[in-house]
Amino acid sequence: MKRFLLFVCMIIIITAGIPFLIVKSLSDYKRVEETEKISVYIKAEDKVCDMEVEQYIKEVTAAEMPADFELEALKAQAVAARTYLTNRVRVYEKTQTPEEHKGAMICTDSTHCKAWISEEKKKEQWGDDYKKNWDKISNAVDLTKNLIITYNSQPISAVFHSTSSGTTENAKDVWGGDVGYLVSVKSEGDLKSPKFNSDAEFSMEEFKKIAEEKIEGVNWDNGLIDNIIRSDAGGIKTLSVGGVSVKGSDFRFMYGLRSTNIEIEILGDSIKMYVKGYGHGVGMSQYGANYLAQEGKKFDEILKTYYSGVEIEKYNSIFE
Ligand SMILES: [Zn+2]
């Protein structure tokens, strides 16, 4: 009897166990194939983590765009974020990762790479709206799975910003390098963005103090502000402050302004600055994308509006 039971057990193990192991190893294999991972440097925690690409894209989309934006705008944002990542990964595979990344392919510093927030943290912020919002963002990312923006068959540097001045900037006017797909286009929806207009006022004393601290060689005998040179879109490329030539982007950050599209008004003992738009103004405008989505445009049409001459393609792997 004992022998018989042992025999039955052996049969069960052989007939059920082996197929189970085969199926399990196959499904593990498939899972690895389906979910690529990338290393991410989480700046706030000063650590490098391996993350599944699509989950990372969801968390970037959640950090970069309000969940109440149109689905097609969220899809455009998801593709832009995935493209930005792919572009960085492929560049760093050939060169090396920047020092700021502590060895990772991408970082969570929005001023260096793209903003990111963990699903856990976003869940806390959203509270009762978590499920509705996360499902919407997840859906936007899933519906565009593996899609990236290409130019000459290469993933583009898919930069984006909150709100343009009504016209986006040429990359060459902002960063110096000529990029075929990052050229100035009209973005009329931005005029409706809640971030379109802003202003700042400084007393003359305050204005001069900041300039003296940040710009070497300032001499007020050489004038206050002059030689303002603007891009076609209206952003300040360079200007002279106290006789010293300064880049518009440096001036913007020095005075904590939202963009380089600045009108300066000198009011005797104070200076008022009126600013249009929010961000560097290059590539896709997020509010402009939402406006186009409200007008019935699909995500690929939105992307092709902001990135000139591009295609939307499916990749096989984020790595080359
Ligand atoms: Zn980075």
The model carries a pTM of: 0.86
Cα separation of 24 and 29, whole Å?
9
Cα separation of 170 and 183, whole Å?
4
Domain count, the chain: 2
Kindly state whether residues 174 and 215 are assigned to the same domain.
no
- The per-residue pLDDT for 16 is 62
Kindly state whether residues 55 and 79 are assigned to the same domain.
yes
Structural domain including 227 reads 197-276
- Position 91 confidence tier, pLDDT thresholds 50, 70, 90: very high
Kindly state whether residues 130 and 265 are assigned to the same domain.
no
Kindly state whether residues 179 and 237 are assigned to the same domain.
no
Kindly state whether residues 182 and 95 are assigned to the same domain.
yes
Kindly state whether residues 172 and 227 are assigned to the same domain.
no
Cα separation of 294 and 68, whole Å?
12
- Position 100 confidence tier, pLDDT thresholds 50, 70, 90: very high
- Position 64 confidence tier, pLDDT thresholds 50, 70, 90: very high
Kindly state whether residues 116 and 265 are assigned to the same domain.
no
Indicate the average pLDDT of the chain. 92
Cα separation of 240 and 225, whole Å?
6
- Ligand 1 centroid distance, CA of 160 (Å): 15
- Ligand 1 centroid distance, CA of 38 (Å): 13
The verdict on residue 10 lying in a domain is no
- Ligand 1 centroid distance, CA of 318 (Å): 17
Answer yes or no: is pLDDT of 21 > 90: no
- Ligand 1 centroid distance, CA of 193 (Å): 28
- Ligand 1 centroid distance, CA of 5 (Å): 62
147-151 and 160-161 strand pairing? unpaired
The verdict on residue 30 lying in a domain is no
Which strand ranges, in their side-by-side order, compose the sheet holding 147-151?
A: 154-155, 147-151, 311-314
The verdict on residue 116 lying in a domain is yes
Kindly state whether residues 134 and 152 are assigned to the same domain.
yes
The verdict on residue 129 lying in a domain is yes
Cα separation of 112 and 17, whole Å?
51
Kindly state whether residues 262 and 293 are assigned to the same domain.
no
> Which residue, chain included where needed, has tokens 């765009």?
65
Kindly state whether residues 145 and 125 are assigned to the same domain.
yes
- Ligand 1 centroid distance, CA of 98 (Å): 7
- Ligand 1 centroid distance, CA of 107 (Å): 4
Kindly state whether residues 99 and 226 are assigned to the same domain.
no
Answer yes or no: is pLDDT of 20 > 80: no
Answer yes or no: is pLDDT of 29 > 50: no
Q: Among 205, 274, 212, 206, which Cα is nearest to 242's?
A: 212
pLDDT tens digits for range 222-271: 999 999 999 999 999 999 999 999 999 999 999 999 999 999 999 989 99
- Ligand 1 centroid distance, CA of 55 (Å): 18
- The per-residue pLDDT for 34 is 62
Cα separation of 241 and 224, whole Å?
6
- The per-residue pLDDT for 28 is 45
- Ligand 1 centroid distance, CA of 22 (Å): 41
Kindly state whether residues 52 and 171 are assigned to the same domain.
yes
248 close to 234: Cβ distance less than 8 angstroms: no
The verdict on residue 7 lying in a domain is no
- Exposure string for 38-48, b = 16+ CB within 10 A, e = fewer: bbbbbbeeeee
